[in-house]
Amino acid sequence: MAYNLECTALTKSFGTIRALDNVNLQLEKGKIIGLLGPNGSGKTTLLKAAAGLLTPTTGQILIGGHQPGEETKAMVSYLPDRNYLNNSMKVSETLDLFEDFYTDFDRAKAEAMLDSLHIDRSQKYKSLSKGTKEKVQLVLVMARRARLYLLDEPIGGVDPATRDYILNTIVSNYAEDATVVISTHLITDIEPVLDEVLFLKYGQLVLHSTADQIREEHGKSVDEYFREVFRC
Amino acid sequence: MLGKLLKYENKTLSKTLFPLGIGVLLIALFSSLIMKLNLYLQDQANEFVSKLMGTTTVVLLVFSFLAIFSAAFIAVFLILQRYYKSFFTDEGYLTFTLPVKTHELIFTKLISSLLWSLFVTICVMIAVALFALFGTTQALLNQEVANGARLLLKELGNFFTVYKGTAVFLAFEFLLVGITSFCMQFLMFELAITLGSIVAKKHKILASIGMYFVVNFACQSINSILTIFTLPALLLNESMQFQPDEPQTVALFLILPVILYAIYTVVFFLINRYLLKNKLNLD
């Protein structure tokens, strides 16, 4: 059985800088995984490589046993750390777009989520506030029945009340055979929903453990342990 | 998926290029009207008013013609800007995570650029015809221009009657030259943008312009070498009975650019597909 995400000696260099350095990992289905590390540790690079936006320098990355391509893009739901929607589109048009291209997109669910967040579907994307834009993107991404969710800072730009809603959405929306990878600095907020944790440091994977294991072995929360490992 | 990609691409391009085409037609109508009014007033008004009208009209006409003819350049700029934006800015994060094949993305850009360039070209041609027919006379229609157009059509008809098959073939060849040179040119632009965006970490647009000159220079060099080696051989070949006035000769010589442009089109397409598939590194 193929892993939802598998990296073998994955290395990505930008000139002389190694953004990812010999990363080996396997992520199983049915887990929510926190991808944690300080700025510049390679979190976004790893997610982008899995989404097919970067070509690895050496090594291999597989999604459901396949190399990034048309097939894997149909099973990966990726939320980048920026606004990637066409500004001239209306919110309803972005729903049309996702419905057209992703067979696993559940429009009814997306509309229900937009209504819960009080987002007017007739509004143009460019007229929305920064936080609302992020909410729209998250709704689109989470309304898919994907096999692998890659969420880069999904709660970074929203208020605490919306954070709870988003985290609830993530927990309640992913299917049993799916894997959710969340990259964030807001560890305390996401800690309750995490099954596993990945620590990246200077592009290297320094820890892959369950959240319970960290708490049991170190007697600390994931957030406290993170602060200890990455103390400046 | 190509159909869906085309739907969204055309929708986005239509937001800028449709108003551009319509704007060109409106400018032509407006300048025709002003010109007609000027011609009418020149007979009616006193010398001062007549001179003032004349100067204003000349200035207006110069701007109108600049606007009409620059529309084609603006259209090319907008199409290329769309290519850059949807591939190499934040929008690229969506474009390249859609479950579509790389060649479908390139085809989408090519087909939509072909369609929209055609639309703007037709608008410019109609605008020029509108002005020539209605804006250059006090009467409703400029009979001389209309007669000229009629004569041109008649001559074309005669040409087709006399040369039949060759004329049809020649017309087909001109169409092919147009399509292949268009495809080659746009794919060259797009390849240059891809190269510039992949190679440069900053100033990607500047790098793309630089890459365009590099690719263009390489093509010109290849063209020169090919011309040196092939043209004299063709001209000096007695069995070809070279007669530049004959449509048959023109038809024969037009095949060469069609083949050359088609080869460039395929090569640019393959390089671009390889780069987008294997060397993509979005910031």
Parallel, antiparallel, or unpaired: how do β-strands A179-183 and A204-210 relate?
A: unpaired
In whole angstroms, how far apart are CA A76 and each of A45, A159, B255? 16, 26, 47
Q: In what order do the strands lie in the sheet with A179-183?
A: A76-79, A148-152, A179-183, A31-36, A196-201, A204-210
Domain housing B96: 1-158
Which residue of B lies nearest to A57 if distances are taken between CA atoms?
B279
Residues forming a β-bridge with A62: A6
Which residue of B lies nearest to A85 if distances are taken between CA atoms?
B91
Same-domain check for residues B36 and B92: yes
* Backbone region of residue B20 per phi and psi (left: phi > 0; alpha: psi in -120 to 50; beta: other values): alpha
Same-domain check for residues B216 and B240: yes
Tokens representing residue B234 in the block: 């063709």
Same-domain check for residues B15 and B154: yes
Same-domain check for residues B122 and B168: no
* Residue A57 forms contact with B (CB below 8 Å): no
Show the beta-strand stretches assigned E in A28-159: 31-36, 58-62, 76-79, 148-152
User: What's the rounded Cα separation, in Å, for the pair B218 and B92?
Assistant: 29
Above 70 in pLDDT, residue A214? yes
Binary contact (A102, B97; C-beta < 8 A): no
Binary contact (B91, A102; C-beta < 8 A): no
Same-domain check for residues B269 and B224: yes
Q: What are the tens digits of pLDDT across the range B137-193?
A: 777 777 788 888 889 888 888 877 877 777 788 888 888 999 999 999 999 999 999
Task: Kindly report the pTM of this predicted structure.
Answer: 0.86
Q: What are the tens digits of pLDDT across the range A123-182?
A: 999 899 888 888 899 899 989 999 999 999 888 777 888 888 888 888 887 777 889 999
Query: Do residues B119 and B21 touch, judged by C-beta distance below 8 A?
Result: yes
Task: Name chain B contacts of A141, Cβ cutoff 8 Å.
Answer: none
Binary contact (A55, B280; C-beta < 8 A): yes
User: What's the rounded Cα separation, in Å, for the pair A58 and A72?
Assistant: 19
User: What's the rounded Cα separation, in Å, for the pair A217 and B23?
Assistant: 71
Where does a domain end: B94, B124, B158? B158
Average pLDDT, chain B: 86
Closest CB to A101 among B4, B279, B281: B4
Above 70 in pLDDT, residue B66? yes
Number of domains in chain B: 2
Report how far Cα A19 is from the mean position of its chain's Cα atoms.
18
| Model ipTM value | 0.89
Query: Do residues A194 and A34 touch, judged by C-beta distance below 8 A?
Result: yes
Where does a domain end: B96, B129, B158? B158
**Out of A196-205, B63-72, B74-83, B116-125, least confident range:** B63-72
Same-domain check for residues B177 and B218: yes
Binary contact (A54, B100; C-beta < 8 A): no
Same-domain check for residues B175 and B277: yes
Same-domain check for residues B6 and B95: yes
Which residue of B lies nearest to A87 if distances are taken between CA atoms?
B91
Q: What is the DSSP string of chain B?
A: -HHHHHHHHHHHHHHHHHHHHHHHHHHHHHHHHHHHHHHHHHHHS-HHHHHHHHHHHHHHHHHHHHHHHHHHHHHHHHHHHHHHHHHHSTTHHHHTTSS--HHHHHHHHHHHHHHHHHHHHHHHHHHHHHHHHHSS-SSSS-HHHHHHHHHHHHHHHHHHHHHHHHHHHHHHHHHHHHHHHHHHHHHHHHHHHHHHHHH-SS-HHHHHHHHHHHHHHHHHHHHHHHHHHHHHHHHH-GGG---TTSHHHHHHHHHHHHHHHHHHHHHHHHHHHHHHHHS-B--
- State the amino acid at position A221 in one-letter form: S
Confidence of residue A217 (pLDDT cuts 50, 70, 90): confident
Q: pLDDT above 70 covers what percent of chain B? A: 92
**Residue with token string 């495809």:** B183
Q: Which of A47, A76, A97 to mutate to test the interface with B (most CBs of B within 10 A)?
A: A97
Task: Report the pLDDT value the prediction gives residue B263, as an integer from 0 to 100.
Answer: 93
Q: What are the tens digits of pLDDT across the range A68-104?
A: 988 899 999 999 988 899 888 999 999 999 999 999 9
Closest CA–CA distance from residue A13 to any residue of chain B (Å)? 11
Same-domain check for residues B47 and B140: yes
Same-domain check for residues B135 and B39: yes
* Residue A82 forms contact with B (CB below 8 Å): yes
Binary contact (A54, B282; C-beta < 8 A): yes
Same-domain check for residues B42 and B108: yes
Confidence of residue B227 (pLDDT cuts 50, 70, 90): confident
User: What's the rounded Cα separation, in Å, for the pair A148 and A31?
Assistant: 10
Task: Name chain A contacts of B17, Cβ cutoff 8 Å.
Answer: none
Query: Do residues B106 and B99 touch, judged by C-beta distance below 8 A?
Result: no
Task: Name chain A contacts of B1, Cβ cutoff 8 Å.
Answer: 101
The secondary structure of B193-247, three-state, reads HHHHHHHCCCCHHHHHHHHHHHHHHHHHHHHHHHHHHHHHHHHHCHHHCCCCCCH
Above 60 in pLDDT, residue B241? no
Where does a domain end: B112, B137, B158? B158
User: What's the rounded Cα separation, in Å, for the pair B124 and B11?
Assistant: 21
Query: Do residues B115 and B14 touch, judged by C-beta distance below 8 A?
Result: no
Q: Which of A78, A100, A145 to mutate to test the interface with B (most CBs of B within 10 A)?
A: A100
Task: Report the pLDDT value the prediction gives residue B245, as an integer from 0 to 100.
Answer: 63
Binary contact (A73, B4; C-beta < 8 A): no
Closest CB to B280 among A53, A76, A101: A53
User: What's the rounded Cα separation, in Å, for the pair B118 and A170?
Assistant: 47
Binary contact (A51, B97; C-beta < 8 A): yes
Same-domain check for residues B238 and B106: no
Q: pLDDT above 90 covers what percent of chain A? A: 48
Which residue of A lies nearest to B1 if distances are taken between CA atoms?
A101
Closest CA–CA distance from residue B104 to any residue of chain A (Å)? 11
